[in-house]
Amino acid sequence: MTATIIDGKAIAMRVRGEVAHEVAALTEHTGSRPGLATILVGDDPASAIYVANKRKACAEAGIVDLHRHLPADTKQADVAALIEQCNADPAVSGILLQLPVPKGLDGTALTGLMPCTPRGVLELLDSYDVPLEGAEAVVVGRSDLVGKPVAAMLLARNATVTMCHSRTRDLADVCSRADVLIAAVGVPELIGAEHVSDGAVVIDVGMNRTDDGLRGDVDFEAVRQRARLITPVPGGVGPMTIAMLLANTVTAARLQGAA
């Protein structure tokens, strides 16, 4: 068999054509064109080319090009200030900070805050010194709110991440491979002992109101016999969400204060 070659160039051109039509329609409807603020810090030649290409593509699609260029020695606070200024500018529909930023700047801090519940999950794992690098992590649930960001954060910590959802075949088999199992499903006590291998770390994000009270996604009594670490519901991830909300608020205030 000879493989069909996937033509990314053609698909990209199609998408760009569709975007140009949408921009024209939106402009007619609202009277203003969408604008993209590209921010380039420093003079990395590859980054400069990437940004130039993005600006050219914007222009071709009818998007207003609102480019900003800062010198390589710009301080973190000044980049944050520019992002804040763009945020407040009604002409700016989107902001693209070109990464990587020069050494000495913290790109992650500039590109946003981590969502509270997923950040809480990571904080719990770190607080109990759970090794993530190279670990098999299984996340059950793929919501934008919890499952996906948790998976992205675990991946960023070099875990090998598998995501499960309602169409996953043989959930117990997949879950039982996990060193770290995260349940974010919304089905009371879906995860039983058969889903968990001996010594696994189990984090239960579920918060399900049942006739018997608040229940997690994990059958706590059964799973605690097998797991090495497990979060209860209530008293596990829930309080962390609020703690991380406060932590994120302080981070935001610090960034704004720097502006």
Which residues are annotated as catalytic? 54, 98, 106
Contact criterion met (CB below 8 Å) for 68 and 37: yes
**Residue from 53, 165, 232, 246 in contact with ligand NAP (CB under 6 A):** 165
Sketch the per residue contact string, 89 through 128, with ligand NAP: x for CB under 6 A, - otherwise: ----------------------------x-----------
Residue nearer to ligand NAP on the CB measure, 37 or 140: 140
What is the distance between the alpha carbons of residues 6 and 16, in angstroms, rounded to a whole number? 17
Strands 136-140 and 64-65: unpaired
Residue nearer to ligand NAP on the CB measure, 140 or 255: 140
Ranges of beta strands (E only) in 129-253 are 136-140, 160-164, 180-183, 201-204, 208-210, 213-215, 229-230
Q: Which of residues 195-214 bind ligand NAP (CB under 6 A)?
A: 205-208
What is the distance between the alpha carbons of residues 13 and 11, in angstroms, rounded to a whole number? 5
**How many chain residues interact with ligand NAP (CB under 6 A)?**
26
For the CB of residue 146, give the shortest distance to ligand NAP in the complex, in Å. 4
Check binding of 164 to ligand NAP (CB under 6 A): yes
Judged on CB neighbours under 10 Å (0-12, 13-18, 19+), 116 is: buried
Among the listed ranges 21-29, 33-41, 75-83, 179-187, the one in contact with ligand NAP (CB under 6 A) is 179-187
Check binding of 42 to ligand NAP (CB under 6 A): no
List of residues 6+ apart from 193 with CB closer than 8 A: 219, 222, 223, 225, 226
Sketch the per residue contact string, 135 through 154, with ligand NAP: x for CB under 6 A, - otherwise: -----xxxx-xxx-------
Judged on CB neighbours under 10 Å (0-12, 13-18, 19+), 251 is: middle
For the CB of residue 115, give the shortest distance to ligand NAP in the complex, in Å. 9
- DSSP alpha helices (H): ranges in 74-163? 76-88, 107-110, 116-127, 147-156
Among the listed ranges 68-76, 83-91, 122-130, 237-245, the one in contact with ligand NAP (CB under 6 A) is 237-245
Report the interface residues with ligand NAP, using CB under 6 A.
Answer: 117, 140-143, 145-147, 164-168, 171, 184-187, 190, 205-208, 237-238, 241
